[in-house]
Structure 1
């Protein structure tokens, strides 16, 4: 029986016989949900729904599913069974086809746990005449052994549905006249409330709440009991959802606090249960009590029912994360422990744990609304104690931003302040490359971020690392000294001319002292053959122990993706726009780097006017040399702040490229 025929026959049998009272089974494999619900466009084969909310459009409706159903046709050797009942395995089949199916089931379960407020979700996995029930939760999955549903047709499961909030959420999402502009600006005293905060809600906060009210996404009322007091919050679609099925499953909401009649930031996460690991709410309470700056302000926290899931509610609101000096102030205060019972190390500095929010700043006699930074997510933090044993069996933190010393295989390095500051650097690098202008194309930016932050592989260090390090350092200071000395020469010449006219002497003594003696010695390496002889000899000695196979790394059929350079004498037509002409010529210059030199490859540059306007003699250079210096200039001088003149900037209409 084909998979499609199996779906129809199974669905009809369940519904016609009312095998699951109160629920109805519907095929959902024809169309995905709206992008706002599921941007990945996934489609489960079928699902159980409450009888009163059964969909009719053949879509998955992830927010309303009670049990997801996946069908696979019966194949010899259980080719599509994601699990294994054999006694000598741990339940997970390792064949490629079976692992692929398991990945499919995991993606459905991950989406269900993200959309719904569930302790666990269930999947009915049907394979021909047999089936399994799979329970998915944040700690993993549990699957039953295969069931022959023809003989054991009475087996089924029921799942409770969460409480839905009041319809008043739609009214709360509507803009109001009392909403406050969140842009940085001067603030009048009459705009402040008794707590020196702004009257009303910020515009961006209400909009974020309105954006969370997505049609098809369930709405919930969450209760937190702390100190005998109950806090109620209304939530819909999370603003942030952590990826992955296993793990803390963190979700962040712009929530409405019912008793306080105000919007807050609600964090919902599963926490690790270890003897010496504190709740994030307790840690934030300690930081708030000591007056630690630039950390979230705690409203309440607690576990939900009897489940090991914690909810922390913050009175501040989130915006997209950016690196901020405020983060260093918060980290410095916590790690120094000056006002705390003990020093605290954050241990999970990452892009997602840095937030910004608008805050009223009092400076002298003026009030100003400014965006300030917060260091959030302190659940991984721990006191700084000498010779303390690890509290958890696995390395904690976001590995994309962790220090190199912590990522090394079998590393026993403990996280400390240097490792934390290295994480700050990685966050700064990530956002600088992603959001600031640079010479990289968007594709190159995406590739770099993927390779640097998201790809993990074991890389054998190059035998030439030390050589490259020493030469680059000497090159850097060679150009730095060259730049400084040239600037000093021009400055001295101008000062002498000024002094000659005025009769004054320039003996201010306040000029920049420039590179140090050590830095000048490094620069002199580039004039000393013995430096290169020593470096290359050391590299050769180290490389002589390398027994790996060596081959040409450039494929023989490789072709440059750039356009070939124009031939000598090519005219630049007037029909080309100046912008397109510049881009084309820059590509030609860059492509010159890949042009293999040949006999007679000397060419004359165009005549450039001298200072007095007379044309200078043409300069002979190997083809590609000017291109090479142009590209290297961006790379080397970029660190030194030396502006490079683009060789294509002032090309005139109809001018020849020689």
Structure 2
């Protein structure tokens, strides 16, 4: 046991350094250079001076536990609980653990906490000054456990010096930002034999204690001398193993998706916190993931509160695939960006046609650039269409910034469809077009991204809803306006075509809901008539649902337009089409404008000490710190508008996918729909 209370861990990538109270390490660990090492922590202790620092409140004797709020909501209690969770999150992110233990000592009391990826189990408090037997027994038992009993993953080990040397040489391209050890994963091959892969730091570390907590590693296999991508995640029990999905896609020869190599669910890698939650309790809330089957459930009558729908059983899922891609935002031109998205769209299309699989989490972070184009990655939320349709409760899945308008609105009785995913592809292109390429609404970019991609509202139930701004962008061109124009003509045509296609689909879906509403009202009228309580006649006029083929009925029409747009002859020259971050440009312009309005003496006096606001993230929250400058940028619109409009005051006529001029708003968006077969597609 080492006193780490005064020494921060300098290897934390995000956030301030943490100084946990006395920490337990393996004997023989060298702490002369670094005293606090979350990567080596075996047992965590948190010490507080006062009884009032307790993060929890035990129910009085005779109280129904289900009606008791266990969490303390005093300032001291909230602070303690936040600190405990923060330490546990960093601990789990730095190691491969199935579970871990914390000793929480406050004043004269102690609690034990067991953490895993489903949640935490907290003991009743006891007075260790009057009876320390529980604490002594716990420490004795813990000291006699092996590494697996203490929570370590037996299929991950520290590399030998020679293995570390090889990893440093072969994986230099993905060298971690902070110091990380080289580790070795043991993964079961398709023939049942164990395969070992070297890893030197993950490409991202999960910042949450519970949930999927996905980590991806570029890895090197010494035997084959090949580099692969290893994915490590805690899948919900209700989802199909991603490895099984990728194996099926591989066998069906689906293009532009990761090629499955080996791996799957890890032996004995399963959470235990959920075992104390019954299926009935888990179904009481609006949680997206149904409860685990009742088998192996344990007596949980002691637990407090009712919010058990937040806890779900999870399995450790680890597999290897063939492609190590680069983030979508690394594209080199508007044509390159659209090509990468097009390849991902093909992968989505083929997976649906050949396997009946819907991805259900199409987002910017799940589209990767490869040497020959792009791939659609992260199939962990994917499901067979037939399984989605027959589910008794539909999950709302996806990444908020790119989820479809109707899913965001909270229609839980609506199954996730391929059209929801196709809208996500459109949103991805719109987001990157707005942020990285010149257009005539540059001065509004931060506002548009914030409204369309970040807007949300928290309901009293704790659920988030939104999508109104997103829906209105498609239906009424809100926020961008009817005159929105990108500097890349083919990208501009693709965006307007796609906005029109999504608009048509949303209108049709909204029309579909009207007959259902009318049937419900008729039923209510009949019931009221039988009881004699009908007061007002209720009638809703409905419009006939169009019967012609819509652009998003399936992938085909959009696929045709994708293919045709690359034949256009008016793509900008690569030198004139390099992407740049408009948000950073606006941010720099704003700072310059503000500086010019400050008296020189005051500006000098405050140099280096002015406070900078931290705008919220637009688009994917995982795209890095530069994304955080979107919604709170305060622009001087009278100056920025002039700057944004310079050079674009004269309107350019929009052109079809093949390059011919189009006249009028409707014509520009609707007239050119030439398929790969060369035949004109009729809307009627």
- TM-score bucket (shorter structure): 0.5 to 0.7
Specify whether residues 635 and 399 from structure 1 end up closer, same or farther in structure 2 by C-alpha distance, changes over 3 A only: farther
Q: How far did 1:118 drift?
A: 0.7
2:95 is matched with which residue? Answer: 116
Structure 2 runs not aligned, ≥5 long = 270-314, 330-336, 459-464, 486-592, 599-634, 655-684
1:654 is matched with which residue? Answer: none
1:555 is matched with which residue? Answer: none
Please state if 1:325 is matched with 2:377: no
Match runs of 1:293-442 below 5 Å? 293-307=255-269, 308-322=315-329, 324-332=338-346, 334-335=348-349, 340=354, 342-358=355-371, 370=372, 372-385=373-386, 388-390=389-391, 394-436=395-437
Matched-pair contact (CA < 8 Å) for 1:348–1:396: yes
Please state if 1:52 is matched with 2:46: no
CA separation in 2, counterparts of 1:640 and 1:167? 63
Q: How far did 1:636 drift?
A: 8.5
CA separation in 2, counterparts of 1:449 and 1:214? 32
Cα RMSD (Å): 4.3
CA separation in 1, counterparts of 2:640 and 2:4? 59
Deviation per residue, 1:371-402 (Å, 9 max, x gap): x2110111211222398233766422222221
CA separation in 2, counterparts of 1:440 and 1:313? 43
Q: How far did 1:348 drift?
A: 0.5
Q: Say which SS state the counterpart of residue 31 (structure 2) adopts.
A: coil
2:456 is matched with which residue? Answer: 456
Matched-pair contact (CA < 8 Å) for 2:361–2:397: yes
Specify whether residues 26 and 407 from structure 1 end up closer, same or farther in structure 2 by C-alpha distance, changes over 3 A only: same
Specify whether residues 135 and 392 from structure 1 end up closer, same or farther in structure 2 by C-alpha distance, changes over 3 A only: farther
Among 242, 245, 254, which residue is 1:292 paired with? Answer: 254
2:301 is matched with which residue? Answer: none
Deviation per residue, 1:148-182 (Å, 9 max, x gap): 3332241223525453222223321455xxxxxxx
Matched-pair contact (CA < 8 Å) for 2:187–2:262: no
Q: How far did 1:592 drift?
A: 9.4
Matched-pair contact (CA < 8 Å) for 1:335–1:344: no
Q: How far did 1:34 drift?
A: 2.4
CA separation in 2, counterparts of 1:315 and 1:397? 24
Among 165, 170, 180, which residue is 1:171 paired with? Answer: 165
Deviation per residue, 1:309-350 (Å, 9 max, x gap): 11121111132234553444444454456862x422110011
Specify whether residues 638 and 102 from structure 1 end up closer, same or farther in structure 2 by C-alpha distance, changes over 3 A only: farther
Deviation per residue, 1:249-297 (Å, 9 max, x gap): 11000112243232210000111112xx421111111111111110001
CA separation in 2, counterparts of 1:103 and 1:83? 15
Among 56, 66, 79, which residue is 1:100 paired with? Answer: 79
Q: How far did 1:299 drift?
A: 0.4
CA separation in 2, counterparts of 1:471 and 1:434? 17
Please state if 1:262 is matched with 2:275: no
**Of 28-37 and 136-145, the range deviating more from structure 2:** 28-37
TM-score w.r.t. length of structure 2: 0.55
2:244 is matched with which residue? Answer: 282
CA separation in 2, counterparts of 1:95 and 1:282? 47
Q: How far did 1:96 drift?
A: 4.5
Among 49, 55, 58, which residue is 1:81 paired with? Answer: 55
Structure 1 runs not aligned, ≥5 long = 1-24, 176-204, 359-369, 481-560, 567-589, 594-626, 643-658
Matched-pair contact (CA < 8 Å) for 1:345–1:382: yes
Specify whether residues 258 and 124 from structure 1 end up closer, same or farther in structure 2 by C-alpha distance, changes over 3 A only: farther
2:671 is matched with which residue? Answer: none
CA separation in 2, counterparts of 1:143 and 1:225? 38
Specify whether residues 37 and 304 from structure 1 end up closer, same or farther in structure 2 by C-alpha distance, changes over 3 A only: same
Please state if 1:243 is matched with 2:237: no
CA separation in 1, counterparts of 2:41 and 2:432? 38
Q: How far did 1:455 drift?
A: 5.6
CA separation in 1, counterparts of 2:478 and 2:211? 42
CA separation in 1, counterparts of 2:258 and 2:467? 41
Q: Which has the higher helix share?
A: 2
Matched-pair contact (CA < 8 Å) for 1:253–1:265: yes
Specify whether residues 231 and 462 from structure 1 end up closer, same or farther in structure 2 by C-alpha distance, changes over 3 A only: closer
**Of 141-150 and 131-140, the range deviating more from structure 2:** 141-150
Among 201, 207, 210, which residue is 2:172 paired with? Answer: 207
Matched-pair contact (CA < 8 Å) for 1:226–1:302: no
Matched-pair contact (CA < 8 Å) for 1:287–1:334: no
CA separation in 2, counterparts of 1:40 and 1:638? 50
Matched-pair contact (CA < 8 Å) for 1:290–1:339: no
Please state if 1:62 is matched with 2:51: no
Matched-pair contact (CA < 8 Å) for 1:283–1:378: yes
Specify whether residues 28 and 470 from structure 1 end up closer, same or farther in structure 2 by C-alpha distance, changes over 3 A only: closer
Among 130, 135, 148, which residue is 2:109 paired with? Answer: 130
TM-score w.r.t. length of structure 1: 0.57
1:537 is matched with which residue? Answer: none
CA separation in 1, counterparts of 2:81 and 2:257? 40
**Larger RCO (CA under 8 A, 6+ residues apart):** 2
Matched-pair contact (CA < 8 Å) for 1:115–1:237: no
Q: Say which SS state the counterpart of residue 305 (structure 1) adopts.
A: strand
